[in-house]
Amino acid sequence: MAKRKSGKAKTIQVRALARVEGEGAFTIVLQDDRVADVKLEIYEPPRFYEAFMRGRQATEAPDITARICGICPVAYQMSAVRAIEKAYGIQVPEPIRSLRRLLYCGEWIESHVLHMYLLHAPDFFGYESAIAMAQASAELKAHVERGLRMKKIGNAIVEVVGGRAVHPINVRVGGFYRAPTKDELQALVDDLRWGRDAAIETARWVASLDFPDFTDDYEFACIRSDHHYAILEGDVVTNRGLRISEDEFLQYFREEQVPYSHALHSRRVLPESPGADDRFAGCYQVGPLARWNLNRDVAPDLVRQVEQDLPVSFPTTNPFHSIVARALEVLLAYHEAIRIIEDYEQPDPSWVPFEPRAGHGCAITEAPRGMLYHEYHTDDAGYLTKVTIIPPTSQNQLRIEKDLYMIAPRLIDLPQDQACWQAEFAIRNYDPCISCATHFLKLKIERLPTSAH
């Protein structure tokens, strides 16, 4: 229970964040009604993927890295295959790239729908879980039922294209082990059309929610193509004018170790060293809100028209609007899936032959939670000599801490359970995947005695 030891200071602590993927905690230290410190502590053990992959064949990377996450294995597979194909000089034809985009649409639907309906929506209605929300009224129960059906359709896409719904097995460097037939994909279309209508209803529903009033000067980052809504490839852009190729990513973004977390933090490389008092310098946000803010101009007409009629205006700097961006991306994913299937011609062969060689390649794709960077170095025989993986939750950590820092003054006079819930609500805007970042989450608010000065 949070308590004020004096009239001016306290500590708020959540030891285990709920409704996030992985294990973590956070601590907010308040002194003299000032936020003294904020820490997002990820204590899930590091898994050392980058180290133990050295000496493995590069062709194993898609299946090995997919095990980093049970929610977004497709993202890991896609970043891995693209990076290795660059290292090997493999050009993948458009039909295979379209099939990859279809597989990714399935993962976006699965992941986004799960988060919106079962993890985040209960926050907006003040329920502790989707179970409590579903029991509250017939209307909310119908919403949960709709969400479950929508998610199932995403699973079906991943199963048909990827071979199975979780940790798909059909992806390989150069393409797919087996390309699905036109009939196999066509069998999904009726459900996808229902899902597209359900996604429109979902966008209207979440846009009507009561959003907390919160904003900041965010730097949003994502990949961008000027021709379509980027998922698999594009330049890295931010709303502050940065536009670079994915090959330049590490020149502009860097990871750093912090003593209280097993996950690395990412920040933008700034032209000048930040002042010692600006620990959040270079923080940025990746994920659906960043993508929709920066890329909605190239989204399909249908999705843009639906957005135009919503009571939420984009671009927005309110992170609680992320649930709306997520809903619009679900609509986009259904729409894209139908388009890809209607245009589909089964690629034959289903993969491009290649020879292993010494090389280096990096690639960024848009995981449901944001940019996922993979970089591989190979030797002459195709064995990995160096691996770098930067998942989206690592990139969002510093930005999450800044959101907590900004929201903390509102928590001072709240009872502990309310303070914890408000803070977790804000964190869930990012749908953090801590298992990815270490390759779960807890709130701790410390209320210190009044300072001596």
Partner 1 sequence: MTTERTVRVVGLGSPHGEDDAGWQVVRAIAAFAPQEWTTELLRTPIDLVATLSADRPLVLVDAAAEPLPDSPLWRFRWPELPTDAFDIVSTHAFDLRYALELAGSLQLLPELVLVYAVHVGGTPAATAETSYDRTPSDIVQTIARCLVRDLRRCLAEPASTRSGPVPVAGQ
Count of Cβ atoms closer than 10 Å to residue 7 Cβ: 9
Q: Which is nearer to partner 1, 71 or 325 (CB)?
A: 71
Q: Checking DSSP bridges between strand 221-224 and strand 384-390, what pairing results, if any? A: unpaired
Determine, following the binding rule CB under 8 A, whether residue 367 of this chain makes contact with partner 1. Answer: no
CB of 9 to partner 1, least distance (A): 33
Continuous H helices in 6-137: 49-52, 61-66, 73-88, 94-113, 121-125, 130-136
Is 30 or 427 the residue whose CB approaches partner 1 more closely? 427
Beta carbons of 83 and 361 less than 8 angstroms apart: yes
- The region of 99-107, 139-147, 360-368, 377-385 touching partner 1 under the rule CB under 8 A is 139-147
**According to CB under 8 A, which residues from 152 to 211 bind partner 1?**
152, 155, 165-166
- Give dist(CA 368, CA 371) in Å, integer: 8
For partner 1, which residue of 96, 130, 232, 341 counts as binding (CB under 8 A)? 130
Q: Are 441 and 431 in contact (CB under 8 A)?
A: no
Alpha helix positions (H), 344-415: 392-407
Binding status of residue 151 toward partner 1 by CB under 8 A:
yes
| Binding to partner 1, residues 294-323 (CB under 8 A) | none
Distance in Å, CB of 18 to partner 1, minimum? 7
Q: Is residue 398 involved in binding partner 1 (CB under 8 A)? A: no
The verdict on 18 binding partner 1 (CB under 8 A) reads yes
- Restricted to residues 54-113, the positions that interact with partner 1 (CB under 8 A) are 70-71
Task: Write b or e for each residue in 164-184: b if 16 or more Cβ atoms lie within 10 A of its Cβ, otherwise e.
Answer: ebebbebbbbbbbeebbeeee
CB of 279 to partner 1, least distance (A): 30
Residues that bind partner 1 (rule: CB under 8 A) add up to a total of 25
Instruction: Return the range that interacts with partner 1 (CB under 8 A); candidates 13-21, 210-218, 306-314, 388-396.
Output: 13-21
Encoding tokens for residue 221? 């980052």
Coarse DSSP helix, strand, coil percentages of the chain, rounded to the nearest 5 percent: 45, 20, 35
Of 450, 453, 446, nearest to 37 (Cα)? 446
45 binds partner 1 (CB under 8 A): no
The one segment of 82-90, 148-156, 252-260, 378-386 that binds partner 1 by CB under 8 A = 148-156
* CA gap 434, 23 in Å, rounded: 6
Q: What is the dihedral of CA 166, 168, 169, 172, to 10 degrees?
A: -150
Do 185 and 341 touch, CB atoms closer than 8 A?
Answer: yes
The CB-of-168 to partner 1 minimum distance in angstroms stands at 12
Residue 82: closest CA among 348, 373, 386: 373
114 binds partner 1, rule: CB under 8 A? yes
181: tokens are: 């037939």
* 149 contributes a contact to partner 1 by CB under 8 A: yes
439 binds partner 1 (CB under 8 A): no
CB of 383 to partner 1, least distance (A): 25
- By beta-carbon proximity to partner 1, the closer residue of 350 and 393 is 393
Please, which residue, 86 or 143, has the CB nearer to partner 1?
143
Q: Which is nearer to partner 1, 156 or 389 (CB)?
A: 156
Residue 15 is a binding residue for partner 1 (CB under 8 A): no
Q: Which residues bind partner 1 (CB under 8 A)?
A: 18-21, 70-71, 114, 118-119, 129-131, 134-135, 141, 144-145, 148-149, 151-152, 155, 165-166, 440
